[in-house]
Chain A
Amino acid sequence: MKILINNFKIFLFFIILTGVAYPLFITVVSQTIFKDEANGSLLTKNGKIIGSELLAQEFKGKQYFWPRPSAANYDSSSSAASNLSPDSKTLRETIEKRASANGLERNSNDDLLYASGSGLDPHISPESAERQINRIAEARHLNIQKVGELKKLIVDNTEDRQFGILGRVRLNVLKLNLVLDEKF
């Protein structure tokens, strides 16, 4: 009986310490000094929340940059991946469909051919952005000079590897589209 009581006491102590005090402490500090980040890096336009910088949202319009395909159907409250293996027939068929929808070669390693791990990947590679230029230019009726500016827009908005070493070069699709709407 004593062993039960002693272990129960120490268990309760740790519940309070690690289950209550620790997360509350992190929350209070975060909400004080990193408020925006702690609340999901939300983006607003005209005072309304239009999404999070970190979560992909669906773009179907031809005048926009498109994010990577999503196995979660861009439902940010229910992240998901396809989990299809590289030798799955279903995956190969899906890739073909995406290739023809995007006008891409199906053997390329373009991000736009493959659903992301989270279904909410906010980024695409610079190459994937460049491949969308023609479509966007056509939809927005841009002249040659404007197309040049659009190309520059991609370069300007490209995020380098963090500290020059970590991760990959990428573009945030939502932020890119916001600038796109502003300038073109």
Chain B
Amino acid sequence: MRLHSITLTDYRGITESTVEFGPGVTIVEGPNEIGKSSIHQAITQLREDKASSRKASVKDTQPVGSDVGPQVELHLSTGDYEVRYRKRWLKQPFTELHILAPAPEQLSGDEAHERFLSLLEETVDIDLLDALDVAQGRSLAQAPLAEIKALHGALNTSGEAPADHDAFLDRVESEYLRFFTAKGKETGELKKLTDELPAAEERHRTLDERSRDMDALVERHARAADRLEAVRDQLTAAVTEREEAEEAAKAVSGLKTEFERAAEAADSAKREEERAAEAHDRRSRLIAETTAADEAVKEAAANRTTVTESERDQDAVVARSQRALDARQTELETARTEAKTASASLAHARARREVSELRRRLASIREQESRAADARATIGSITVTAKDVDHLGGLVTEVRIAQKAKTAAAAHIIARRLGDTDVRIDGTTLSETTDAEFAVVNDTSIVIDSVVDITVRPGQSPAELDRAVDRARSELDAELERLGVDSLDQARERAEVRTNAEALLAEANSTLRALIGDDDRDRLDSALSRAEQLIVEAGEPAGSDAEVDATTIDELEARVDTTTAAVDTAQDAVDKARAALDRTRADRDQARVAAVRAQAQHEQAMTALENLTARLAADRDAHSDEALKDAHADALEQSQKRVGEVEAARARYEAADPETLEMRLQNALQLLDSKQQEQETGRQEVDRLSALIDDRAAEGIYDRLKAAEESLDSLRSRLARLRREAEAVRLLRETVLAHKEEAQRQYVAPFKEQIERLGRVIFGQGLSVEISEDLEIVSRTLDGRTVSFESLSDGTKEQLALIGRLAVATLVDESSGAPVILDDAFGFADEKRLSALNVILGNVGRNAQVILLTCQPDRFARLGGARTVSLG
């Protein structure tokens, strides 16, 4: 649909005005009072209100204060049609529809009105028309786009919107909600049955268990009853067994008494036998004792004789030993005297030898001492030492050096004899062949015999050299004087004498030290005095020089050793003799004691024999030996007989196996006891089970179990059915919603893209929007931040709502499209956004007709390709 022009006559504040619309953007400017909104209102009124209408909104369009009919004429193309449509209201109202194309046609009145509507109906989507028409004050709201068929066509090739299957979806949803909550939890009957199931299962399980328990109880009862029956039989058997065992026990008891009696008799016979045996033994022992006593007496007497002889022998031995001891002691004394004499002789000889040695040593010492004294005297007389000689030598050399220096500095005479004539210089005759050189330090005479005598006088020598010679010479002279010698040679000679004396002294001292050794010189003297004294005391003259040689000493020492050994031997002999004496004395003492003891024993044995003999005689008077022997034999026989009887009784008793019998009896008694208890326990168990069973039998477990089973089965099958239904609807819903969502996503995609494309001019590249299935902008996301449409600022809302409309305008097919009419929109936009909006509108204007009604045309000054017309 395209509007070409509109003419308003006597419409509100406008007397007559025609506005031509361009194919793109047309800006219609006019002050508010003139009524730019009038154009907007006029288009709507032309379409909606019949010429005959007198409603308030129509009346309001009559110019104030003039009685004229407001008139509107619109020239437009829609679909294949081009029409002029004119209406006047209130005064001489009329309606005219002039169809210019495709087939010219002229209509008027209601017919024209209806025809115009049907034309619109046929060619344009009224909803779209309304949606793109933004009356003043409506700009904040989004257009209801969902119902616009033209848009559907543009968005979806199938021409179908997601909302088309609402009825189906409602059915699915309501079916789904029978089973599930909106959040997908089970609900309603499904939930109820699911919840009931565990309890029903538990009830069934409990009853089933109870039923099985009942069966088990019955089985236990049967078993217990069987057991009780068996125990009853066992009890009877046990009673019989006990009776038999008791009978057998009674029989064995008789045998036991018999056996015990026999044993008693045997014991008594045994005791009798033992008594007789003892009497017999006693007699035998007494006889033996008497015999033994007799023997003892004889033996003691013999012993006594022997011991007395032995005593006498021992006394003789003691006397011999005493004598031997005495002899040995005498020998000892003699040996001791000899030893003493030998020792004295040895000591004397040694003293004499010491005296002679000491004298010899002292003589040597004295000789050496005198040699040392001589040497010391020589050393004392000569003061020149070897060191002094060296020093003196040095001084002589220095004098020579000084003189040499002086000579070198003096004039020289070098002369050779040429002929045979003697030439003497300073007394030296020159040889013919060689040159001779002479230093002129003194007046030197050259004499050629018979020719000439020349004296060469040296010039003044350098004083320094002279002084050096003088100094060296004076030092030499001083030293010579100090040493008391005339020359170096003399000094050397004297120093040598001194050195020899020193060597002599040293040798003498060394010899002395060797002679004296560690001893003291004085001690040597006193030792000599002592030794001499010793000899004097021994009766010899002190000065006796009788030489004692080593042989004598050795002999004396040997004699001392021999005599000392003899003393030791004699001492040993004495000791041995004394020990022998002591031993013999002890033997003798023992012999004495033995003799006394033998006598006492003999006497004692005699007494014992007498006693025994007396007792035996008395006993024999009472019972003869024979009588005692017979009595014992009788008793023994009797006892053995009794033992035989006991064995027989025991054999009879044991053959009856009393132990096993006893065990059998005890077992039978215990068995009886235990069986009785078992019977009692069994009976109680049977009674208890019977009571339990009776109790439960009355419960009607089967009926209850079956009822539980019925309800459980029914519950399960209902639940299974419901689950199946639920699963079916869940799957259907899930599938259909998934496809719907996908369809919707695809459906709104172009719209969304267009909005974002246009919107980015204002909001920048970070813009995206969410579009609902009703094609409403749900939210705006800018740079990752999402804000719902309702929460956006009014300006943004207005701009987005407008962009939505513009997007629709650009999307719908031109032939089925409608102009976008904006009445004083963008009141909320700032300068920057307004500028962006200009860009957008210019862009949209290339594909769609846009009519902007404004009282501030400056706001759209930057809109490219726009046509501006003025109203009024």
| A, B from the same assembly | no
